[in-house]
Amino acid sequence: MNELHAELRRFAQDEAGATAIEYGLIAALIAVGAIAAMTSFGGNLSGMFNTVSTKAGVALANAGT
C-alpha cells in the first residue's frame, strides 16, 4: 500500500504531462480560430472561385474561335 501511495505522489509531482496538455490546448485554440475564419470567409471565397471559374471557362471557350 505504501508503494501505491509513493507512486501516486510521484505521479502528482510530475510536470511533464502538464506541458503536453498545454500544447494540446494551444493546438485546439488554433484549430477553433482556423475553423471560425474559414466559416466566416467561406461564402465569399466560394463566390470568388465560382466567378474565376466561370470567367476562365468563357475565356477558354472564346480562345478556340
pLDDT in tens, 8-60: 788 777 767 678 888 999 999 999 999 998 888 877 888 888 999 999 999 98
Positive or negative: CA dihedral 5, 7, 10, 11: negative
C-alpha to C-alpha distance for 44 and 7, rounded to whole angstroms: 56
**For residue 55, what pLDDT is reported?**
93
pLDDT band at 65 (very low <50, low <70, confident <90, very high): low
- Give the pLDDT of residue 56: 94
Which band of pLDDT confidence, cut at 50, 70 and 90, is reported for residue 2? confident
Rounded Cα–Cα distance for residues 53 and 7 (Å): 63
Global confidence as pTM: 0.48
Q: What is the 3-state secondary structure (H, E, C) of the chain?
A: CHHHHHHHHHHHHCCHHHHHHHHHHHHHHHHHHHHHHHHHHHHHHHHHHHHHHHHHHHHHHHHCC
